[in-house]
Amino acid sequence: MDGARKVGGELVLLALVLFTGLVLAQPAVLLVALPIATHLTLGLALARQPTVPQVTRSLSTHRTHEGDIVEAELSVRNADGHLDLVMISEEQKLARHKAEGTTSLAAPLPIGGSVLLSYATRPPRGFYPLEGPRTSVRDLLGFRSWEGTAACPTRLWVFPRFDPVGRVGLSPRQTLSFPGSARSRRGGEGVQFLATRPYVPGDNLRRINWKALARRNQPVVNLYEQERAANVTVVLDGRDRIYLPLGGQEPFEHAVRACAALCDSAVRDGHRTSLLLYGERLEWVFYGSGRIQRERLLQELARANLGLSDAFSDLGNLPSRLFPSGSSVIIVSPFAPGDEEALGLLRARGYDVLALVPITSPPEKTEQEPVRLARRLIALERELMLQVLMSAGIRIAVWDVGHPLGPVIRNAWRRRQ
């Protein structure tokens, strides 16, 4: 109850007691009004306008990975004016994830005094825009009060945790003009042998094939495949209808971690990398390279959520016109019947397509027979669809989430279609 309502309530109560005592002509009833009048008089005499305390928040880090400990401290300081009662409550989303420590308190705060709230938590993946804590200030008898949110905004990014996959060995049809790790199918400087040609004056003598010279009695030089940068698009399928039969949020989290590992690998290898979140709506991170681009990609993955709309109920509405011609496209999804047509069109348009399918380990024997049968039917249906995709020239990588992702990706890209 704020101060004005408290004064009004006590005045009404005092008038009611006095009216009742006078009507009934009972002195005892009139005596009941004495403590009410005393409390109201002292409250109005001692009431002071409360000052708003200064609140500052500090975090142990502003960017971390899921599962790591984040420590938060809230310092509440009274710059001027005695505060008889200060109530602070940290109601942010960050403090609701099994926080250990102090997230609320109520105490008097003298001039120049301060109190400290501290807690530690392990937040899940996400973006946490932290506003100020809920703050309430009252005088001794509660006739003057202030309640609101103290201003101390800050942000926390919790990125998906992933294991590095190393070089994935891209081989798109078209590459860029600057160095990278993708095979360009052109002769030049590199480590992968491509072909040989007759020696031309001015060639590097270190590249002479001495065995061919001994057989042909004619100098021959080795040609190596140039390694160039490429355009890489990572697509995260966020349609909830394909994850719900598999367990909902948990398989989606595995897909997010796979996308984070692929984006990290592509950026580290020097490729121009983009990210497309396909679900309730399209979230697009345009092509870029370097550490800043890596940060943008991880931030978008931290905010990724499941969703569904009629416009994006199937993969047929993928905005493939945004993908550069001849580039590499990696789609991370459990997939559903009907998606093979959209993937086939991508391959027919000249993209080097990799379909990464995260799967969980077989269910426990304690699972009920109807549920086990349904899972088996879903797995068989997916396997049939993947066979169709492989026949269309699409690379397939089936990843058991209990095993490392790197070997699965590298083996899929080495497999020529």
The verdict on 247 and 318 lying in the same domain is yes
Last residue of a domain, one of 104, 131, 159: 159
Determine phi and psi for 355, rounding to 5 degrees. -105, 115
Structure tokens at 309: 């709309």
Domain with 77 in it: 54-159
CB 83 within 8 A of CB 50: yes
The verdict on 217 and 239 lying in the same domain is no
Structure tokens at 267: 């950026």
The verdict on 42 and 187 lying in the same domain is no
Sheet holding 114-121, edge to edge: 54-59, 70-77, 114-121, 100-101
pLDDT digits (tens, 9 = 90+) for 280-324: 888 899 998 889 999 999 999 999 998 887 777 788 888 888 898
E-assigned strands of 265-351?
Answer: 272-278, 282-288, 328-332
Residue in 279, 319, 320, 275 with CA at minimum distance from that of residue 294: 275
The verdict on 299 and 408 lying in the same domain is yes
- Whether residue 167 lies inside any domain: the answer is no
CB 84 within 8 A of CB 69: no
The verdict on 202 and 340 lying in the same domain is no
Residue in 264, 361, 348, 269 with CA at minimum distance from that of residue 65: 264
- Whether residue 164 lies inside any domain: the answer is no
Distance set, CA 147 to CA 3, 50, 87, 136, 272 (Å): 11, 10, 9, 4, 50
Give pLDDT, residue 294: 93
Give pLDDT, residue 247: 75
Amino acid at 417: Q
Residue keyed to tokens 């990588």 = 397
Alpha-carbon gap, residue 230 to 221, rounded angstroms: 27
Structure tokens at 377: 């039917």
389-404 b/e (C-beta count within 10 Å ≥ 16 → b):
beebebbbbebebeee
Mean pLDDT rounded to a whole number for the chain: 79
Residue keyed to tokens 């047929």 = 316
- Whether residue 37 lies inside any domain: the answer is yes
The verdict on 223 and 268 lying in the same domain is no
1 band by pLDDT with thresholds 50, 70 and 90: very low
The verdict on 317 and 401 lying in the same domain is yes
What's the CATH number where 256 sits?
3.40.50.410
Distance set, CA 332 to CA 27, 263, 345 (Å): 83, 12, 17
- Whether residue 165 lies inside any domain: the answer is no
Q: How many domains are contained in the chain?
A: 4
pLDDT digits (tens, 9 = 90+) for 144-200: 666 777 778 888 999 999 988 887 767 666 666 555 555 555 545 555 656 667 777
- Bridge partners, residue 64, by sequence: 158
The verdict on 329 and 400 lying in the same domain is yes
Give pLDDT, residue 36: 67
- Whether residue 384 lies inside any domain: the answer is yes
pLDDT digits (tens, 9 = 90+) for 14-72: 677 677 777 777 777 667 767 766 666 666 555 566 677 788 888 899 999 998 999 98
The verdict on 266 and 293 lying in the same domain is yes
The verdict on 312 and 365 lying in the same domain is yes
- Whether residue 354 lies inside any domain: the answer is yes
Least trusted range by pLDDT, from 128-137, 232-241, 266-275: 128-137
- Whether residue 174 lies inside any domain: the answer is no
CB 128 within 8 A of CB 93: yes
The verdict on 218 and 245 lying in the same domain is no
- At 174 the three-state DSSP class reads coil
Give pLDDT, residue 417: 44
The verdict on 10 and 148 lying in the same domain is no
- Whether residue 171 lies inside any domain: the answer is no
Residue in 45, 15, 7, 8 with CA at minimum distance from that of residue 33: 15
pLDDT at 94 over 90: no
Average confidence (pLDDT) over 82-105: 76
pLDDT at 226 over 90: no
